[in-house]
Chains A and B, each alone.
Chain A
Amino acid sequence: MNRHLISAADLSLDDAVAILDTAEELARLAERPIPKLPTLRGRTVVNLFYEDSTRTRISFEAAAKRLSADVINFSAKGSSVAKGESLKDTALTLQAMGADAVVIRHGASGAPHRLARWVRGSVVNAGDGTHEHPTQALLDAFTMRRRLGRLEGLRVSIVGDILHSRVARSNVWLLRTLGAQVTLVAPPTLLPIAVDGWPCSVSYDLSSVLPGSDVVMMLRVQHERMSDAYFPSVREYRRRYGLDGDRMALLPDHAIVMHPGPMNRGMEIAADVADSPRSTIVEQVTNGVSVRMAVLYLLLSGSRAPDEPAVAGDTELVTAAELTATAAGSQVRVEVL
């Protein structure tokens, strides 16, 4: 696996499966009385959030803490240039503090790429502008695999503002790697011009796509897109691209409904759909912690800063095999915490 997780497109099939399998093991850990591992003890994970995102930040924070890492939350709202310190200077500061990993959420596409040039630790992209959100795609894939038992050949329809969606981009690349068949559904104004070059199919008609979908993933649609004339009105958007009870009935019985959150109830998704048994929305949040634990574990557990002495005993790094054994039931390691 690479040193960073910046784009879902960079993940090989082996990498992706390793993350999902590790997350599966770690998920079992969460069911135990003390859901904590010593794996990243002494490691520092910085959550560098330039955008408000309580959900994603808390998920990463919980993931890092369950692996016993020290967590520093650094919230810097607004553009770095407009508000003073540049991203580079912030990066150098974090570097000087000895961050082993920086989890970055930023409003500018590509900010994690830039950050990776300025810090020595691992960079984890927690959502950059309208580019990517790879851990969201991983937790979505994890959720699909748990619910439906496989990813290969799964028919996944992603519906909504594809043009501006980092979730959609990451899902398209990751699901291609994992062998699923993706269909993007949106009004033509909310699809990228060059979408025909993407490894997926495209439809403008939600109702026609639903009967052939194992998964339907609804994306949040920002109200301000309306003022930019991407669509005429909320009412018309809901009528053509919203998922209500009637439309949900077009899905096969086994199909699930996903949403990365936060939802606009009554806009892209009706309340009864969001709360239905098909909905995996709350499950996705739970799975997010396991997947982010897996990502931090795989990025950090194999590496050690050269000046850092090896630590013996219970804080010794856990190998993947040990982790599996630990997660599978041995309480010894956990009890010494």
Chain B
Amino acid sequence: MSAASGSHRSAETPAKRRWLIRGARPLGGPPADILIDGTVITGVAASGRDGRQLAAGADVTVLDASDLIALPGLVDLHTHLREPGREDAETVASGTAAAALGGFTAVHAMANTEPAADTAGVVEQVWRLGRQAGYCDVWPVGAVTAGLHGSQLAELGAMADSAARVRVFSDDGQCVSDATLMRRALEYVKAFDGVIAQHAQEPRLTQGAQVNEGEMSARLGLAGWPAVAEEAIIARDCLLAAHVGSALHICHVSTAGSVEIISWAKSKGWRVTAEVTPHHLLLTDELAANYDPVFKVNPPLRTAADVAALRAGLADGTIDCVATDHAPHPAESKETEWSEAAFGMTGLETALRVVHEAMVSTGLLDWSSVADRMSVRPAEIGRLSDRAAGQHDMRHGCPIAPGSPANLVLYDAEPIRHVDPAEHASRSRNSPFAGLKLPGQVIATFLRGTPTVLDGRLAS
């Protein structure tokens, strides 16, 4: 249904290429034709009976996208690309290929690499690797503290001024638990419109923690990770952000109580934003029952009541966006005892399908809202709504309208297929959704007019 027609002319540089995407449904609405000229969307018009008004010129590649949903290219605020240091788990190239296959056109690469992304040099390296890979834009997240050790601020300004122009800072994987340090970080990044993305985990309450503290941790004899350890930090940091008038973003919100606190902070008008992962929208701690560490993640899978609250929070906007927390690990890190296993799950290639299952199939979000939660809002939080690099318009999260950079995903909502991690482009296979039946398939992804994915496969 979606085969690219028209010949592929190699003499033509991608930037000059023109595409006519025929019959796609922008944001799930009525069918329209979308014309891409070079890197920019130049026309969007309702598909007529013959729908020919945009098919000007013979040098246009026509893509039949009948019945496919068109969304602005997805933006992930929370991706672990592992490079430099853990190229056995993922590289910038393999991770961004996975991202493209999931419909993403921009990802934020978390700072817990080896070495950590705590200097201008490392963030520029990651930035350059992303440019070379070409599958999606890579915006490095800078560490808040040197080495993620939580004792001294990293050179936030140098990273902000670097070629990577870092605006999001996070020690993700570690909580900035020192209240004074957190306050200083929030204050300091005001100078360059930065945001601190907090991994909310009170360390003393979660020593050795393995699973959500509750019925499952009690039965399984695994050390509990109590909800209060997340909520206490979120409450503190909301108050700190308010006190210093800065921007706070909460990573991977996982509890019903956190949603309540964030809702309260937003009601005060404070600059607090939040993300939820696909896995926390779909999976519960019951899955730990057989001690298969593919379900081990930080923060842990919670209860069905938490899942319901997170879905409601994402639906009403209390939680601003979905972020994958894509955390690839090699097989040996998961094929082991639960307590020895690494925390984390892959998620880029399944995110949209999981959101479809958890939020759209349940009637909680329509496709327009999915675009908001997975593209528009994360782009705003990541300060990607007005980015440029040289002559390139690097904006993301823009409407599907003339003048916007041509970042698009075409999604077929119809098929229902089992998830098979062996098919994933990620170097790692630790998908908690393996074997699960999920709806939908990403058919094509365009990054500034260049297809990174066509026919559901990476475009060469």
Binding site for B on A (CB under 8 A): 9, 79-81, 86-88, 106, 108-111, 113-114, 128-132, 164, 166, 169, 192-195, 197-198
Contacts and interface: CB of A to CB of B under 8 A. Distances in A.
Contact of A108 (B218, B219, B290, B339): B339
A110 B336 contact: no
A57 to B, nearest CB: 19
A193 B226 contact: yes
A128 to B, nearest CB: 8
Nearest to A197: B215
A194 B340 contact: no
Given A86-B332, A192-B218, A109 B226 contact: no
B214 A193 contact: yes
A110 B214 contact: no
A328 to B, nearest CB: 40
A80 B332 CA distance: 12
Nearest to B335: A88
A198 B220 CA distance: 12
Interface of B: 213-215, 217-224, 226, 290-291, 332, 335-340
A110 B217 contact: no
B256 to A, nearest CB: 16
Contact of A195 (B218, B220, B290, B335): B218
Contact of A110 (B213, B215, B224, B291): B291
18 contacts: A80-B336, A81-B337, A86-B335, A87-B336, A109-B220, A110-B337, A110-B338, A110-B339, A113-B291, A129-B221, A131-B221, A132-B221, A164-B221, A193-B213, A193-B217, A193-B218, A194-B213, A198-B218
B220 A87 contact: no
Nearest to A113: B291
A86 B330 CA distance: 14
Contact of B221 (A80, A87, A130, A194): A130
A80 B214 CA distance: 28
A222 to B, nearest CB: 15
A79, A129, A164, most chain B CB atoms within 10 A? A129
A106 B336 CA distance: 12
A88 B338 contact: no
A110 B291 CA distance: 6
A33 to B, nearest CB: 42
A259 B158 CA distance: 63
A109 B291 contact: yes
B224 A109 contact: no
A166 B217 contact: no
Contacts of A197: 215, 218
A131 B221 CA distance: 4
Contacts of B221: 109-110, 128-132, 164, 166, 169
B354 to A, nearest CB: 26
A197 B218 CA distance: 10
A79, A81, A109, most chain B CB atoms within 10 A? A109
A128 B222 CA distance: 10
B352 to A, nearest CB: 31
A264 B214 CA distance: 30
Report, nearest first, the 10 A-B pairs whose CB atoms are least far apart.
A110-B291, A131-B221, A192-B218, A108-B337, A130-B221, A109-B221, A194-B215, A194-B218, A113-B291, A81-B340
B321 to A, nearest CB: 31
A114 B213 contact: no
Contact of A192 (B217, B290, B337): B217
B218 to A, nearest CB: 3
A111 B293 CA distance: 11
A113 B338 CA distance: 10
A108 B217 contact: no
A30 B427 CA distance: 57
B218 A114 contact: no
A137 B221 CA distance: 16
Nearest to B331: A88
B331 to A, nearest CB: 10
Nearest to A128: B221
Contacts of A194: 213-215, 217-219
A280 to B, nearest CB: 25
A108 B338 contact: yes
A132 B221 CA distance: 8
A80, A108, A132, A164, most chain B CB atoms within 10 A? A108
Contacts of A110: 220-222, 290-291, 337-339
